[in-house]
Amino acid sequence: MSDHPLDDPLRGSLLGAHAHLAQRHGEAMRYLPDVAPFLSLPRDGGAWADAAALLGPGGAATTSGRRPPEPPEGWDVLGDLPGVQLVGEDVDGRSDPEVVVLGHGDVPEMTDLVARTRPGPWRNRTIELGTYVGLRHHGALIAMAGERMHPPGWTEISAVCTDPEHRGRGLATRLILDLVARIRDRGEAPLLHAAASNVGAIALYERLGFRLRARPSFITFRAPSDDRSAPPPEGALPHDSPAHA
For the stretch 99-114, pLDDT in tens is 999 999 999 999 999 9
Q: Does domain 86-214 have CATH number 3.40.630.30?
A: yes
Rounded distance, CA 238 to CA 220, Å? Answer: 8
Confidence of residue 66 (pLDDT cuts 50, 70, 90): confident
Nearest to 158 by CA among 187, 127, 182, 136: 127
Residues 6+ apart with CB under 8 A from 41: 27, 28, 47, 48, 51, 63, 68, 69
For the stretch 201-216, pLDDT in tens is 999 999 999 999 999 9
For the stretch 137-193, pLDDT in tens is 999 999 999 999 999 999 999 999 999 999 999 999 999 999 999 999 999 999 999
Angle at 234 between CA 27 and CA 155, to 5 degrees: 55
- Locate the domains of the chain by residue range: 9-84+216-222, 86-214
Rounded distance, CA 24 to CA 26, Å? Answer: 6
Beta bridge partners of 155: 190
Confidence of residue 228 (pLDDT cuts 50, 70, 90): low
pTM to 2 decimals? 0.91
Confidence of residue 67 (pLDDT cuts 50, 70, 90): confident
- Architecture category of domain 9-84+216-222 in CATH: 3-Layer(aba) Sandwich (3.40)
Q: What is the pLDDT of residue 232?
A: 57
Q: What is the dihedral of CA 205, 210, 216, 219, to 10 degrees?
A: -30
Tell me if 9-84+216-222 shares its fold with 86-214.
yes
Higher pLDDT: 68 or 125? It is 125
